[in-house]
Chains A and B, each alone.
Chain A
Amino acid sequence: MTTLVLLTITGLGLAALYFLVASGLSLIFGLMDVLNFAHGAFLTIGAYGTWWAAGNLPGAGESGWGFVLAVVFGVAVGTLVAALIELLLIRPLYQRHIEQVLVTVGLSLALVALVRAVWGADPRPFPRPGWARGTTSILGANVPNDRFLLIVSAVVVLVAVLAFLRFTRVGLIIRAGVENRTMVTALGIDVRKAFTLVFAIGGAFAALAGALGGIYLGSISPGQGTSLLIFAFIVVVIGGMSSITGTAAAAVLVGLVQQFANYYAASGVGDLSVVLLLAVVLLARPSGLRARLA
């Protein structure tokens, strides 16, 4: 029973990371038809931004509000980089999907190489605030607190995104744009503003995932974002490509399957079973779990 609880909550923690990365990917793909391979780099930037701020930014630190400030800094840098990339590199290639994919692949390699050049390829220990290092007893299992931090963050982000899409005008424009971008412009709306915004939001979530992933793993390395990105893409596909609730459900599914398979079969089987899960879902429901946004 304790193993079951621990595996479930850890699986949900992992799902939270996947969701944070995949939700941005799915919004970007849904609205702009861009497969953003640079998304993993936003995660790396968020992680290193937080780590750097915790050690160097005045007022920031490794625990308490200082750490919160460090995370805010990391997320802000990730958001800014994402917005700039959309404005400077994606926008000029509007509607040229192959070129856009090539640019994002190139960027992901370049940004990771940049981080490696500045801070080295070795993992760096990531600050873990006191509370996150503790455990909470649930049904006899000692669950590390950082799992709850991940889960609560992802749930807050999910609720916030859904409310944003449902109740704001920009959210309305995004939902409509996912369906029919051309008609949105024909109503007199500059849909490209929504593109930049969606990129920035995606960058913010990925950067947050970077910081939270640092806490979860205890260390960060330049390639972390890229390896997480693969699973995030699988989550997006299973979730139905442009649906936020579908992405959330798919993230939970993938996180749990991976954890349980790794524990009960053998380490490494988890990754394989995720790919199997992808195949099964695509065969049973070619359009993914949910085909609509929000």
Chain B
Amino acid sequence: MTDAPLLRLSDVHVRLTGSHILQGVDLSVRRGGVTALLGRNGAGKTTTVKAVLGLVPCTGTIEFAGASGRIERIDGRRTHEIVRRGIGYAPEDREVFAGLTVAENLALAERRNSAHHHDRVFELFPELKQRSRQLAGTLSGGQQQMVAIARLLLNDNQLLLIDEPTKGLAPLLVAEVADVLARAAEEVTILLVEQNLTVVQRMAQDAVVVDQGRVAWSGPAGDLLADADRTRELLGVATSGGGGRL
């Protein structure tokens, strides 16, 4: 592993309907492992992820090293072009296609410049195979999250952007999702937005904390979680007692 980052944001600003939401975000994600993107509600985590994908207009520089390994600017490019460089995205609200079946949701996610690992997906989520003809809109929230994660793992990616995958899930399912993502992280780099600090503790090597549209802290995830005062100050929670949900 070289030290060159896989993804780098420099002085990224996002303005939406008159409000200045990201106010100069600088962060980098190194190749391999999991980087946690943390922050209070409304801090700008989702907006940061959307800026990388070109889903919101931004200024500043966003660079990404695709499969070629050469780092290139991706800001200003169109979303589908950015994604085709090898980025998978699981949005905060899952956004599976309710009117399509599970099988159709997966077929739609098959990216044309990638191999498609249906076997891997069904091995991780056997339930999706049984339910392949069910409309995704009739799945439970947890099952929908499985579809959203399956879409990520179907293609060969360099980077996964995963926005709060455990949001609203029962504890058992939180553990299952964390297991799946931990397995995925052995092969692909993940930028993980996550409020559940237990999950962060288990998975993330690095952490970036955003606050009011700026990066307030970045460094090894262990250092942050070990420092209860700093965690409380940055995230507004106490980590004692194993770090529950915010």
Give me the interface of A with B, judged by CB distance under 8 Å: 169, 172-173, 175-176, 179-180, 182-191, 292-293
Expressed in whole angstroms, the Cα–Cα distance for A175 and B107 within the complex equals 13
Instruction: Please name all residues of chain B whose beta carbon is closer than 8 Å to the beta carbon of A184 when the two chains form the complex.
Output: 108
**Residue from the set A176, A182, A183 with the largest chain B CB neighbour count within 10 Å:** A183
Which residue of chain A is the closest to B85 with respect to CB atoms?
Answer: A188
Q: Using an 8 Å CB-CB cutoff, how does the interface string of B78-94 with A read, 1 for contact, 0 for none?
A: 11100110000101000
Query: Which of B55, B104, B113, B155 contacts A172 (CB under 8 A)?
Result: B104
What's the minimum C-beta distance from A242 to chain B, rounded to whole angstroms? 10
Asked if B125 is at the interface of the complex by the 8 Å CB criterion, the answer is no
Q: A182-B55, A187-B151 are in contact. Are A175 and B99 (CB under 8 A)?
A: yes
Instruction: Please name all residues of chain A whose beta carbon is closer than 8 Å to the beta carbon of B84 when the two chains form the complex.
Output: 188
Question: Do residues A187 and B99 form an inter-chain contact, with CB atoms below 8 A?
Answer: no
Secondary structure class of chain B's binding surface, majority of residues: loop
Question: Do residues A187 and B95 form an inter-chain contact, with CB atoms below 8 A?
Answer: no
Q: A175-B100, A179-B99 are in contact. Are A188 and B91 (CB under 8 A)?
A: no
Question: 9 smallest A-B Cβ distances: which pairs?
Answer: A188-B83, A185-B79, A188-B111, A183-B95, A188-B84, A190-B80, A176-B97, A185-B80, A186-B89
Asked if B98 is at the interface of the complex by the 8 Å CB criterion, the answer is yes
Q: Using an 8 Å CB-CB cutoff, how does the interface string of B94-123 with A read, 1 for contact, 0 for none?
A: 010111100010011101110000000000
**Residue from the set B79, B83, B155 with the largest chain A CB neighbour count within 10 Å:** B79
Which residue of chain A is the closest to B94 with respect to CB atoms?
Answer: A183
Query: Which of A182, A187, A293 contacts B108 (CB under 8 A)?
Result: A187
Instruction: Please name all residues of chain B whose beta carbon is closer than 8 Å to the beta carbon of A190 when the two chains form the complex.
Output: 78, 80
Which residue of chain A is the closest to B105 with respect to CB atoms?
Answer: A176
Asked if B74 is at the interface of the complex by the 8 Å CB criterion, the answer is no
**Can you report 6 residue pairs joining A to B where beta carbons are below 8 Å apart?**
A173-B108, A176-B97, A185-B80, A186-B53, A186-B89, A189-B80
Expressed in whole angstroms, the Cα–Cα distance for A167 and B80 within the complex equals 23
Expressed in whole angstroms, the Cα–Cα distance for A189 and B91 within the complex equals 16
Expressed in whole angstroms, the Cα–Cα distance for A169 and B111 within the complex equals 12
Q: A185-B78, A186-B91 are in contact. Are A179 and B98 (CB under 8 A)?
A: yes
Question: Do residues A176 and B100 form an inter-chain contact, with CB atoms below 8 A?
Answer: yes
Expressed in whole angstroms, the Cα–Cα distance for A88 and B99 within the complex equals 32
Instruction: Please name all residues of chain B whose beta carbon is closer than 8 Å to the beta carbon of A182 when the two chains form the complex.
Output: 55, 79
Instruction: Please name all residues of chain A whose beta carbon is closer than 8 Å to the beta carbon of B89 when the two chains form the complex.
Output: 186
Which residue of chain B is the closest to A186 with respect to CB atoms?
Answer: B89
Expressed in whole angstroms, the Cα–Cα distance for A180 and B151 within the complex equals 15
Question: Do residues A188 and B80 form an inter-chain contact, with CB atoms below 8 A?
Answer: yes
Instruction: Please name all residues of chain B whose beta carbon is closer than 8 Å to the beta carbon of A189 when the two chains form the complex.
Output: 80, 108
Question: Do residues A186 and B97 form an inter-chain contact, with CB atoms below 8 A?
Answer: no
Q: A185-B79, A186-B89 are in contact. Are A172 and B100 (CB under 8 A)?
A: yes
Question: Do residues B111 and A179 form an inter-chain contact, with CB atoms below 8 A?
Answer: no
Which residue of chain B is the closest to A182 with respect to CB atoms?
Answer: B55
Query: Which of A179, A185, A188, A191 contacts B97 (CB under 8 A)?
Result: A179
Question: Do residues A187 and B98 form an inter-chain contact, with CB atoms below 8 A?
Answer: no
Instruction: Please name all residues of chain A whose beta carbon is closer than 8 Å to the beta carbon of B78 when the two chains form the complex.
Output: 185, 190
Question: Do residues B108 and A191 form an inter-chain contact, with CB atoms below 8 A?
Answer: no
Query: Which of A173, A183, A191, A292 contacts B99 (CB under 8 A)?
Result: A292
Expressed in whole angstroms, the Cα–Cα distance for A292 and B91 within the complex equals 23
Query: Which of A173, A180, A187, A191 contacts B111 (CB under 8 A)?
Result: A187
Instruction: Please name all residues of chain A whose beta carbon is closer than 8 Å to the beta carbon of B108 when the two chains form the complex.
Output: 172-173, 176, 184, 187, 189
Expressed in whole angstroms, the Cα–Cα distance for A49 and B211 within the complex equals 62
What's the minimum C-beta distance from B152 to chain A, rounded to whole angstroms? 10
Which residue of chain A is the closest to B148 with respect to CB atoms?
Answer: A183
What's the minimum C-beta distance from B217 to chain A, rounded to whole angstroms? 28
What's the minimum C-beta distance from A256 to chain B, rounded to whole angstroms? 29
What's the minimum C-beta distance from B46 to chain A, rounded to whole angstroms? 13
Expressed in whole angstroms, the Cα–Cα distance for A26 and B104 within the complex equals 22
What's the minimum C-beta distance from A37 to chain B, rounded to whole angstroms? 27
Question: Do residues B80 and A183 form an inter-chain contact, with CB atoms below 8 A?
Answer: no
Instruction: Please name all residues of chain B whose beta carbon is closer than 8 Å to the beta carbon of A176 when the two chains form the complex.
Output: 97, 100, 104, 108
Expressed in whole angstroms, the Cα–Cα distance for A164 and B155 within the complex equals 26
Instruction: Please name all residues of chain B whose beta carbon is closer than 8 Å to the beta carbon of A191 when the two chains form the complex.
Output: 80
Q: Using an 8 Å CB-CB cutoff, how does the interface string of B184-195 with A read, 1 for contact, 0 for none?
A: 000000000000
Expressed in whole angstroms, the Cα–Cα distance for A188 and B113 within the complex equals 10
Question: Do residues A186 and B83 form an inter-chain contact, with CB atoms below 8 A?
Answer: yes
Expressed in whole angstroms, the Cα–Cα distance for A169 and B89 within the complex equals 21
Instruction: Please name all residues of chain B whose beta carbon is closer than 8 Å to the beta carbon of A293 when the two chains form the complex.
Output: 99
Instruction: Please name all residues of chain A whose beta carbon is closer than 8 Å to the beta carbon of B95 when the two chains form the complex.
Output: 180, 183
12 extra interchain contacts, Cβ-Cβ under 8 A, other than A175-B97, A183-B95?
A: A173-B108, A175-B99, A175-B100, A175-B104, A176-B108, A182-B55, A183-B91, A185-B79, A187-B111, A188-B112, A188-B113, A189-B108
Instruction: Please name all residues of chain A whose beta carbon is closer than 8 Å to the beta carbon of B151 when the two chains form the complex.
Output: 187
**Residue from the set A169, A182, A186, A190 with the largest chain B CB neighbour count within 10 Å:** A186
Which residue of chain A is the closest to B155 with respect to CB atoms?
Answer: A188
- B residues 129-170 near A (Cβ < 8 Å) are 151, 155
